[in-house]
Structure formats: C-alpha cells, structure tokens
Structure 1
Amino acid sequence: MTGSTRGPNDPRRRERILDAALDVVAEHGAIKVTFRRIAEAAGVPLGSLTYYFDDMQHLLTAAFTRLAESVSSRYGALLEAAGTPEEAQEAVVEIICGKVWGTDRNLLLSYELYAFATRHPELREVMRSWMRASRESLARHFDPLTARALDALVEGFSIHNSVDPGPTDRADVAAVVRAVVDRRAPGDGGSAGTG
C-alpha cells in the first residue's frame, strides 16, 4: 500500500516519537506531557504510541535514555580524543564551555530529567547510567575521586552558566579545572596532579 506509514514501512517511527516526546517535554515540562501532545508533535496516530510504549513512564524513560546516550557520546568522544593530561583538562573545559550538550534545549531537558527522576524512582537508573558513563569517560585520564569531582564540576558550571547573566568565562573555568586536578591528595603532602 503506497503512502502508508505503518509498521515496516516507517522504520523510524519509534525514534520520531522519542524525539517528539523530548520536544514536548522541552516545551511544556515532563509533568504536562500527554500521549496526544506527543502524537501531534510526531505526526503519528495516537495509537502508535501505545503500540511502542506500554505507558507514559516507559515512553519517557526511553526518551530520556536517548537524550543521555546522545550527550554522553559527545562527552566521551572529547575525552577519548585527548592524548595528554593537558588535553584531557582542555576537553573538560570544552565540555563545560562548548556545546557538548548540543543545545540549550538539551540542558533544559536534563533539568527536566533530574526533576522527573526525583518523583519517579524508576527513572533514577537513567540518571545513574548517565553519571557512570560520564565518570568512566573521565576515568580514562583522572583518578576516581578527581573524575567524580570533575563530573560534578561539569554539571554545576553547566547549570550555573545557563542561567547566570555573567557566566564564568573559559579562562576561569580552565583555572578551576586545573585546581581540581592539581589538588593536594589527603595525607600525601604533595600535589595529586604532578609527578
């Protein structure tokens, strides 16, 4: 049948639904998402959503997982490309100051994920998985405590810089990243970042 967008003839329908769900979350907030709004945004029949997803929880979990994997992939690629400790620190600065999030929309969606996960514990695993991926990328270059601190720094600076009328500039972010990496390790009397 020509013109049909059902089943195998529309292999990207599920992905379109997930992208539309994220668009609706960005516009209205996770709390106001409905199947009808998502179907309209995706340009698919309402019944398509229940064909692919058991309920709204299942749909939003899949959509937020898609977001997390997309951002984690860019985050990880920058750190994987770093060949020296200095390049790894610069990659962290780029994650904070560049467009690793891709868009302000993705940052807004991450806020929605945080808030939604606090009310829906089953979504916390998406958050935990995202944090694990970030820390594993950082652990290619930094000890576990430093990786954890840098991950928190990335999140904190990203949030603050998105709402601050005078965001921290790149040189100051680089200085803070250096300070975290070069911190004195407890009890060793020396700098953890030097040999």
Structure 2
Amino acid sequence: MAPPERPAGSRRGRRNDPDRRDRIIDACLAVIARAGVAGTSHRKVAAEAGVPLGAMTYYFGNMDELLREAFTRFAETISDRFERRMAFASDAIAARDAVVAIILEDVFGDDRELVLSHELYTLAARQPAYRSITTAWMERSRAALERHFDPATARMLDALIEGLTIHRALDSHQGDSRDVQLAVSRIAAG
C-alpha cells in the first residue's frame, strides 16, 4: 500500500510556514526589548514566536546566530529610516532640518528602540564580533550624511545624533528642540 499523498506545500502532512524564520527574529527582538540579551533564551523566543522549541535549532544553530540576525535586522531598519530622511533633503538647509528631525523624531522613536540600541551597544562593547553590526550601522549613517556634508562633518553629526538622542531619551528634563537645531547648525556650519 502506498503512503498517503501529502498536500502541496507541506512537509510530513504539516502546513508549510514560510514566515516562521522572520517571526522568530521579530520575537527575539521583542524578548530582548523586554528582558535584555541576558534574559533572552530559545524557550522565551519560541514562546513569543508561537513556534515549537525544536524549531529554533532548525533555523538558528545557536543563540549567537539568532542574536546576530535579530540585531542586524534592527540596525538595518533604523538605517533605512535614516537614509530615507536624508534622501529627501534637496539642499543644505533641508539636510540640516533632516538631521534635526532624525534626532527629534526618528532615532529611538520609542522606548523599545532605545532599549534594543543599548542592548546592541553593550553586546558589541563586550563581544567584538558584534561590532561588525554597529560598524555597518555607522557606515550607512555616515554615507547618508555625506550626501550633504563633507566626511568630517558627517562623522561629527553622526556622533551628535547618537548623543543627543540618548540624552533626550534618558534625561528627565527635556531640552528645547531649538537647542538641537542650534547644535546641528553649529556643526554643519563648520
């Protein structure tokens, strides 16, 4: 007797789940945002993604591989947003305004992004292998800025964006947005 025919697009009679890997990566970011890298486990990520625990090792050989994929996705998402903002700037004034908007609106748009960024920074500080992710992120930011500013100014603006964004997110006394405009103008004028 021949084995029963499987439905098209399935394995062993189960429905194929083509988005499972992406769900796992997104779930990993959600768990990191809640529990930090130290509190992230295969079990927690599988539960968040709604997948069997055994599926984790099918897609990711170990936690390090999953963390790399998750943080790479996160950094690319932020970089894409940054590049779009800078691409719309048509002149020097619009470019300065775009940098101000990046600081005030885009980077670390919410607490989740703030936590994920700091978790990545801490991991990269402790484990140099993760610096390739932060380096690629900075290179993309600087390249987007270099459409409108010389390389030295782009580097200073990139550091200003990061620093002011962190200060605005963590300081209990929110500064005036005009202070951000002034800082960007001073660096860009140099």
Q: Same fold (TM over 0.5)?
A: yes
Tell me the alpha carbon deviations over residues 70-111 of structure 1, each in whole angstroms, 9 at most, x when there is no partner. Answer: 010000000001001000000000000013434221121000
Tell me the alpha carbon deviations over residues 135-184 of structure 1, each in whole angstroms, 9 at most, x when there is no partner. Answer: 0000000000000000000000111111111122221100110000112x
Give SS of 1:30's match.
coil
CA distance in 2, matches of 1:102, 1:19: 17
CA distance in 2, matches of 1:5, 1:159: 47
CA distance in 2, matches of 1:8, 1:118: 42
Name the count of aligned residue pairs. Answer: 182
105, 114, 133: which one pairs with 2:121?
Answer: 114
Contact 1:71-1:102 within 8 A present in 2 as well:
no
CA distance in 2, matches of 1:37, 1:157: 33
What percent of counterpart residues are identical?
A: 46
- Give the 3 Å change call, closer, same or farther, for CA 79–8 of structure 1 in structure 2: farther
Map 1:30-49; keep pairs closer than 5 Å. 30-49=37-56
In the alignment, does 2:35 pair up with 1:28? Answer: yes
1:93 corresponds in structure 2 to: 100
Which one has the largest radius of gyration? 2
2:20 corresponds in structure 1 to: 13
Deviation at 1:8?
7.4
The aligned amino acid for 2:38 is I
CA distance in 2, matches of 1:22, 1:5: 28
Contact 1:150-1:177 within 8 A present in 2 as well:
yes
Give SS of 2:132's match.
helix
1:74 corresponds in structure 2 to: 81
- Give the 3 Å change call, closer, same or farther, for CA 8–115 of structure 1 in structure 2: farther
Map 1:104-183; keep pairs closer than 5 Å. 104-183=111-190
Tell me the alpha carbon deviations over residues 14-59 of structure 1, each in whole angstroms, 9 at most, x when there is no partner. Answer: 1110111011111111012110000011110111111111111110
Q: What RMSD, in angstroms, separates the aligned Cα atoms of the two structures?
A: 1.8
Give SS of 1:178's match.
helix
CA distance in 1, matches of 2:142, 2:32: 26
Which consecutive unaligned segments of at least 5 residues does structure 1 have? 184-195
The list of structure 1 runs, each at least 4 consecutive aligned residues, that deviate by more than 6 angstroms after superposition, is 4-8
Which consecutive unaligned segments of at least 5 residues does structure 2 have? 1-5
Deviation at 1:121?
1.6
The aligned amino acid for 1:149 is M
